[in-house]
Amino acid sequence: MAASLQALNIIAPEEAEKESAKLEDKSNRSIVSAVASVYAENETPGKLAYFRDQMRKLSGISKYSLINQYKKYLPSLEMAEIEVALPGLKKVADENDAWFIRYIAAQSIMKVETKYSDEKSNLEDDLAELEKKENPDKGKMEKLKADIDKISGLLDEIEQIKSDLAEDETNQRLKRLYQ
């Protein structure tokens, strides 16, 4: 069934999303992985709860596989959803016994950080260009400043998460990842 879902996703992504929704309550690890893959590849809106729920249920290599798909899905989320996702990722990166699961959770956090660092940089460039104009649109400038401040707050939160994780991490390779 999982292979069929993945094949369907190649030829008819919308149908694969519909079929995935029907399979969300299944606990078979192959099906969970296939559903997560469909949602990640298609950036299916509204599936944050599915990933978070499965992340709590799975362990071992199945959890690793799910978080790897989650890492691909995260950039499609709105900032408010990212703020909901971060505590769960922090918990996995902090509390899981398996170093490779802590690692993939940490990579996921870093991917979010990279996305928003890039977005902040682009907004700052836009603001600088706008400020160069003779009669800049004040409303647009204020919106850009507000967006930059919002992203800065999220990036500060991520820095705090990384600092907390580095402090608690016992694996030296993972510890370096946070610096």
How far apart CA 154 and CA 162 sit, in angstroms, is 12
How does residue 177 score in pLDDT terms, banded at 50, 70 and 90?
Answer: confident
How does residue 48 score in pLDDT terms, banded at 50, 70 and 90?
Answer: very high
Q: How far from the centroid of its chain's Cα atoms is residue 94's Cα?
A: 17
What is the mean pLDDT of the segment spanning 29-46? 96
Kindly report the number of other CB atoms within 10 A of residue 16's CB atom: 25
Which pLDDT value is given to residue 87? 97
**Cβ neighbours of residue 114 under 8 Å, at least 6 residues apart?**
none
Which pLDDT value is given to residue 52? 96
**Cβ neighbours of residue 43 under 8 Å, at least 6 residues apart?**
73, 76
**Distance between start and end Cα atoms, the chain:** 42
